[in-house]
Amino acid sequence: MIAEKRTYKVTIAEIVVIFFALLFLTPFYFVIINSLKPFGEILKSAASLPKSLTWGNYSNAFEKINFLKVFFNSLLITTITLVLLVIIGSMTAWWIVRYKSRFTTILFFAFIAAMITPFQAIMIPLIRVITQLNFINTRIGLIIVYMGYSTPFTVFLYHGFIKSVPIQLEEAAIIDGCSIPQIFSYIVIPLIKSMTTTVLILQALLIWNDFLLPLLILTKKDLHTIPLAVFSFFGQYTNRWDYALATLVLGMLPIIIFFLVMQKYVISGVRAGSVKG
């Protein structure tokens, strides 16, 4: 299946796939070159390079969606959720693996069931719960919902990993007189570091890009996250592509930079996250 060396067949296959890759990149090409053109030029010749660079679109977009503010909102919500998820998810998974009981079995089964439940199945009553708890238009409300929604998958990932961690180290620590919280923080946490990276990467992408939950919970403009800000911008300036494309580029810049820098971890995270269930 894997060719020993480069034959002409491999070269042809490579060329075909490179062609597809260029095709995959064309949307980015269109968006970037047109984000630097004035409005009239976009409509007249969308395929050609800009005659001169109109950076004004960017400063305009930057102001209109209040980029610094919404970037900070996204960052804050994602970071706090991730920290809580890793702590609570690893604690829960470790306890489920090491202290199996009827309750943990039921809990774990419930988590699996939650993973295949589409969000729409709980969306409507959930909003009622959030409203009655006075969490509408609060970041805490959104974070709590993320915790409920993302904990099952996080526990599932840690659970699979911890099962393969040898118990001997922990047993030795008990004999040496370590308490359970000490064992967890000084022995278990370092041992499951690689799964923590996977959890962080996978959940970061999901939470950073999530749209429906912020749409339902954060209606106030100064709480908006990036996807929400871009969406409400489009609601206001339909078809003003000069502002809109610059907004799109700004909106995707942070996550693309994150991906390019962390690429190795993202790829291995995807691989580790796809263990068969």
Partner 1 sequence: MNLIKKTILATIFLGPATIFFVLIIAYPFFSGIFYSFTEWNGVNAEPVWVGLRNFIEIFKNDSQFLASFWFTLRFTFTTLILTNVLAFVFALVLIQPIKSRGPLRTIFFLPNVIGGVLLGFIWRFIFVNGFSALGDLTQFSVFLLPWLGTPATGFWSIVIVYTWRSVGYLMIIYIAHLLNIDSHLLEAAQIDGAPNYILFTKVILPLSMSAITVCLFLVLSWAFKSFDIVLSLTAGGPFRSTETVALNIYYEAFSYSNFGMGSAKSLVYFVLVGSITILQVFLTKRKEIEA
25 touches partner 1 (CB under 8 A):
yes
Q: Is 147 in the site for partner 1 (CB under 8 A)?
A: yes
User: Alpha-carbon distance 84 to 200, whole Å?
Assistant: 11
CB of 54 to partner 1, least distance (A): 16
Q: Which is nearer to partner 1, 79 or 219 (CB)?
A: 219
162 binds partner 1, rule: CB under 8 A? no
Site map 63..82 versus partner 1, x via CB under 8 A: --------------------
Longest dimension (CA), the chain: 77
Does residue 165 interact with partner 1 by CB under 8 A? no
Q: Which is nearer to partner 1, 24 or 166 (CB)?
A: 24
Out of 57, 73, 81, 151, name the contact with partner 1 by CB under 8 A. 151
Tell me the C-alpha distance between 92 and 112, whole Å: 14
Angle between helices 139-162 and 102-115 (to 10 degrees): 110
Question: Where does residue 244 rank: exposed (0-12), middle (13-18), buried (19+ CB within 10 A)?
Answer: buried
Residues 255 and 210 sit within 8 Å (Cβ to Cβ): no
First to last CA, the chain: 27
And the tokens for 197? 């990276």
Report the 10 Å Cβ neighbour count for 97: 20
Of the residues 95, 137, 138, 165, which one makes contact with partner 1 according to CB under 8 A:
95
Residue closer to partner 1, measured from CB, 166 or 260: 260
Out of 64, 72, 170, 271, name the contact with partner 1 by CB under 8 A: 271
Give the range of 18-26, 49-57, 63-71, 186-194 binding partner 1 by CB under 8 A. Answer: 18-26
Q: Does 145 bind partner 1 (CB under 8 A)?
A: yes
Q: Which of residues 114-133 bind partner 1 (CB under 8 A)?
A: 114, 116-129, 131
List all residues 6 or more positions away from 93 whose beta carbon is below 8 Å from its beta carbon.
Answer: 154, 155, 156, 157, 158, 159, 161, 162
Residues 179-208 that bind partner 1 (CB under 8 A): 180-181, 184, 205, 208
Q: Which positions from 237 through 266 interact with partner 1, judged by CB under 8 A?
A: 241, 244-245, 248, 251-252, 255-256, 258-260, 263, 266
99-110 as b/e: b if 16+ CB within 10 A: eeeeebeeebee
* Residue from 58, 71, 159, 210 in contact with partner 1 (CB under 8 A): 210
